[in-house]
Amino acid sequence: MPQNAIYWPPGSNDGAGSKDFSAIVPVVVVCRWQDDVTVSRDKEGNEFTAEHIVYVGQEVLVEGYLKLGDVAPAAGTDPHADGAKEIRRVYATRSLDGEEILVKALL
């Protein structure tokens, strides 16, 4: 996986229907980022169009955010303001040899 992305785990509920990222520390993850449009369904079964497919080298969570890049911003940075895309769907499967788990995120 030759690229890096910045990952924000899901923020906490701020009580007003939005997410609070003030306590979140974004991290750099190894990935392969593909700009590829595909139709999928979210966890509620609603159809959506994903603009990016990202294969990552670690677990990521739905409602987290990813942005292509090499330098993680400071803790508490809002991913919306930084141009990150929301993770709408995550697939995880074992590799053919069973040695690792392959993670695919749809944004």
Rounded to a whole number, what is the largest CA-CA distance in the chain?
46
Measured from the Cβ of residue 96, the count of other Cβ atoms closer than 10 Å reads 7
Residues 83-95 have pLDDT tens digits of: 999 999 999 988 8
Residue 45: its pLDDT value, please? 92
- The structure tokens listed for 47 are 């159809």
- The structure tokens listed for 84 are 């990150």
Residue 1: its pLDDT value, please? 62
Q: Which of the four pLDDT bands, split at 50, 70 and 90, describes residue 81?
A: confident
Give Cα 94 to chain centroid, integer Å. 19
Q: Are 62 and 89 in contact (CB under 8 A)?
A: yes
Task: For residue 66, count CB atoms less than 10 angstroms from its CB and return exposed for 0-12, middle for 13-18, buried for 19 or more.
Answer: buried
Residues 16-50 have pLDDT tens digits of: 888 889 889 999 999 999 999 999 999 889 999 99
